[in-house]
């Protein structure tokens, strides 16, 4: 084989690897949508905490994910487990737990915020 053939083969391998990495980075297993009502745009920050499935307490004081630039729908890739979706708005004194969910291996969780009861803390302001 010539140097050119080897170089072309290496470039093809790199290109295929780069395309595979781009597809993996675009994958998600949680999608949260507000059906274009702009509810998500009203959140200053979204935090996702890991939760113990037995005790239902947070596993860590620090969120697993913190989102400050919010787009509808929110798409995130999480490890399998139990989580709590928490929102914060700049005018609220503290964060507000919204809902809990489970991520299973190989499955996608799709959440429509319009089908979940709005927390009372968000309705009072």
pLDDT at 103 exceeding the cut of 80 = yes
- Give residue limits of the domains in the chain: 28-123
Q: Which CATH architecture has domain 28-123?
A: Sandwich (2.60)
- Per-residue confidence (pLDDT) for residue 122, from 0 to 100: 83
CB 66 within 8 Å of CB 83: no
Query: How do residues 38-72 score in pLDDT, each as one tens digit?
Result: 889 889 999 999 999 899 899 988 899 999 988 88
């Amino acid at each position: 084989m010539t140097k050119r053939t080897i170089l072309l083969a290496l470039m093809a391998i790199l290109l295929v690897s780069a395309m595979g990495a781009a597809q993996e980075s675009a994958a998600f297993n949680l999608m949260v949508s507000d059906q274009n009502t702009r509810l998500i745009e009203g959140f200053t920050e979204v935090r996702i905490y890991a939760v113990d499935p037995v005790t239902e307490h947070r596993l860590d004081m620090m969120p697993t994910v913190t989102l400050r630039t919010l787009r509808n729908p929110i798409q995130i890739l999480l490890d399998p487990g139990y989580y709590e979706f928490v929102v914060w708005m700049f005018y609220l004194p503290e964060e507000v737990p919204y809902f809990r969910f489970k991520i299973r291996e190989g499955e996608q969780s799709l959440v429509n915020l319009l089908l979940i009861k709005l927390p009372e803390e968000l309705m009072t302001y």
